Amino acid sequence: MKKILLTIGAAITASQIASFACTSLLAGKGATTDGSTIITYNADSYVLYGELYHHPAADHKKGEMLEVREWDTNKYLGEIKQVGHTYATIGNMNEHQLAITESTWSSRPELMDTTAIMDYGSLIYITLQRARTAREAIKVMTDLVNEYGYRSTGESFSIADPNEVWIMEMVSKGMKEKGAVWVAIRIPDDCISGHANQSRIHQIPFDDKENCMYSDDVVSFARDMGYFSGKDEDFSFCNAYAVTDYLALRGCDGRVWSFYNKYATGMDKYLPYILAEGGDVLPLYIKPDRKLSVQDMQAMLRDHFDGTELDMTKDPGAGPWHSPYRFAPLIWKSDSVEYVHERPIATQQTGFTLVAQMRSWLPDEIGGILWFGVDDSAMTVYNPIYCAITKVPECYRQGNGDFYTLSWTSAFWVNNFVANQTYIRYSQVYPDVKKVQSEIEGSYVEATRKVEAEALKLYKESPEKANSLLTAFSDSVSNTATARYRQLGEYLFVKYLDGRVKKEKDGKFERTADGYPVSPDSPGYSEDYYRTIVRSDGDRLRVKEVKPQ
């Protein structure tokens, strides 16, 4: 394995901190328990409102233009030519079981084109309306940036259909030349991969035309810019175009390492790399020790480096309730020395989260499921949203509340109601959340099996009838789960009021024989936290003997 020399910069820029967002994990069809292809997405942002985007299929007139607005800001960027027909999309999947997700990374600052029309978000959602397969999506995306320019920083895209899973990485050429340099590599069927705000592609298998695509100038452009001067076989896309600093390793590649470490032995050898101590580069993909299920991928999106050397519940920052959460900023100073909190996959600022499951042996309307949730992936419920539904559940509907307007029928606000009560007393409260979360998600195993069996029967008669059934199903389970979570939030508010814990009996809060509330428990803090207090200020707080006067 090739080793690289790391440059650890002391100064952390605001743009690098801002790019600490989004995680995507991937699994080929030979690496999953049922032969599905799977990609995931935690869309992390402190200003992203969790809702589900929907575009019905449509026909368009010749000469029609499409307005493009930057996904992150809603800023008008320009217009592009519309195509004759666009496919229906629901979130990050379309009616043909094509799914695309992403994570952004810091590219060289001179490689930005603020005059270009295509940003990374628009590129995803426009392509989903125009492509049927992963290979077709790669062509659509690269054609769009060649024609209209690419205005975002470095980007990794997960692109998957029912048979293939790809990673594509792209970076703009800057203001002097329109377009982008890019490379796309197919993940082997029996492997898993991931990206999390750092470029992941190093060596390019130029001779493997079946499993690798790239722009003609992917190497020559780097040479022209002075980024690379060696032989083609020694070229690294990441080294040429990405900024690799301490945060890119520990806060970004560290999340991918945690995924690998969870499902494959021997990954401890890459720990020095993500801790910026040198060593072998984290592989683009690995073969897991066992095949993974949708539930395994959901569980990984809820990861806080659990059980590893980076476990966030173990250091003093976890506080009295052993919390795996650290509020911003992640980079902080003490006595002029910079420190960092760990940046796990699961984080409080997620707008929406998904596990896209594509199944080649089923009709598209039935085979594609977007397991969708909003807010923190560790706290949310992943509801089954079939890929061709014609109505968005009310709890996810665009316009049902916004980032400044609370709505009690919006899953985003209801989930935040639950999550933000949990953060402050994590070890006490989270078991109650996990119980309800597991009950709801566990019920979907049998529920989806039954509705799909019924949908398959209807499909033979009428695909439209099958799709109507699945639309009603996705709507019902999503809104029911949101209502159940609101009940959970109300329960938590009552149970843990004022730092106490109300007693329960037979599923109800306990009362005296006269109907009066019994005295709540006072569990206090953990022994290790009491010791922390004593070490810090024990002399001042020690109980002293009071002698009689």
Q: What is the DSSP string of 269-290?
A: GGHHHHTTS--BPPPSEE--SS
**Span 62-88, average pLDDT:** 97
Q: How far is CA 457 from CA 95, 169, 304, 357, in A?
A: 19, 41, 42, 21
Q: Say what angle helices 120-128 and 134-148 make with each other, to 10 degrees.
A: 130
Task: Give 464's Cβ-side CA count (13 Å radius).
Answer: 0
Contact status, residue 413 vs residue 309, Cβ threshold 8 Å: no
pLDDT tens for each residue of 89-99 = 999 999 999 99
- Record the tokens describing residue 129, joined without a space: 């309306």
DSSP character string of 94-158: ETTS-EEEEEEE-B-TTS--TT-SB-HHHHHHHHHTT-SSHHHHHHHHHHHHHHH-B-SSEEEEE
Alpha-carbon distances, residue 511 vs 33, 145, 497, 502, 519 (angstroms): 48, 66, 16, 10, 9
Residues β-bridged to residue 509: 504
- In whole angstroms, give the CA distance from residue 376 to residue 388: 26
- Nearest CA among 242, 72, 103 for reference residue 172: 242
Q: CA-CA distances (angstroms) from residue 314 to 318, 533, 536?
A: 7, 16, 18
Note the Cα 538 to chain centre separation in Å: 43
Mean pLDDT to the nearest integer, 263-270: 98
pTM: 0.95
pLDDT digits (tens, 9 = 90+) for 139-181: 999 999 999 999 999 999 999 999 999 999 999 999 989 999 9
Nearest to 414 by CA among 380, 377, 371, 372: 380
Averaged pLDDT for residues 483-508: 97
Predicted confidence band of residue 31 (pLDDT cuts 50, 70, 90): very high
pLDDT exceeds cutoff 60 at 273:
yes
At 7 the pLDDT is: 33
Nearest to 125 by CA among 105, 97, 149, 99: 99
Task: Name which of 13-22, 375-384, 464-473, 514-523 the model is least confident about.
Answer: 13-22
Burial of 114 (0-12, 13-18, 19+ CB in 10 A): exposed
DSSP assigned state of 177 = S
H-run or E-run covering 472: helix 463-495
Q: Residues of 346-378 as b/e, b for ≥16 C-beta within 10 angstroms?
A: bbbbbbbbbbbbbbeebbbbbbbbbbbbbbbbb
Give the separation between CA 353 and CA 375, rounded to whole angstroms: 7
Mean pLDDT, the chain, as a whole number?
95
Amino acid at 547: K
Q: Is 505 helix (H, G, I), strand (E, B) or coil?
A: strand
| pLDDT at residue 17, rounded to an integer | 39
Measured CA to CA, the distance from residue 322 to residue 340 in angstroms comes to 18
Those residues whose C-beta lies under 8 Å from the C-beta of residue 461, and which sit 6 or more positions away, are none
pLDDT digits (tens, 9 = 90+) for 236-256: 999 999 999 999 999 999 999
DSSP-H helix ranges across 496-526: none
Q: Which two tokens stand for residue 372?
A: 């969708």
Rg (CA), the chain: 25
Rounded Cα–Cα distance for residues 27 and 298 (Å): 12
Other C-beta atoms lying within 10 Å of the C-beta of residue 188? 16
Whether the predicted pLDDT of 11 surpasses 80? no
Residue type, 128: L
Distance between CA atoms of residues 60 and 82, nearest Å: 7
Contact, 384 vs 444, CB < 8 A? Answer: yes
Q: Give DSSP secondary structure letters for 249-269.
A: IIIIIHHHHHHHHHHSTTGGG
CA 146, distance to chain mean position in Å, is 28
What is the reported pLDDT for 549? 83
- pLDDT per residue as tens digits for the range 414-433: 999 999 999 999 999 999 99
Convert the pLDDT of each residue in 438-460 to its tens digit. 999 999 999 999 999 999 999 99
Q: Is the CA virtual torsion 313, 316, 317, 319 positive or negative?
A: positive
Q: What are phi and psi of 16, to 5 degrees?
A: -70, -40
| Dist. CA 437–CA 375, nearest whole Å | 14
Asked if 409 and 400 count as a contact pair (C-beta separation under 8 A), the reply is yes
Q: What are phi and psi of 369, to 5 degrees?
A: -125, 130
- Report whether pLDDT(3) > 70: no
pLDDT of residue 20: 53
pLDDT band at 125 (very low <50, low <70, confident <90, very high): very high
Pairing state between β 504-505 and 508-509: antiparallel
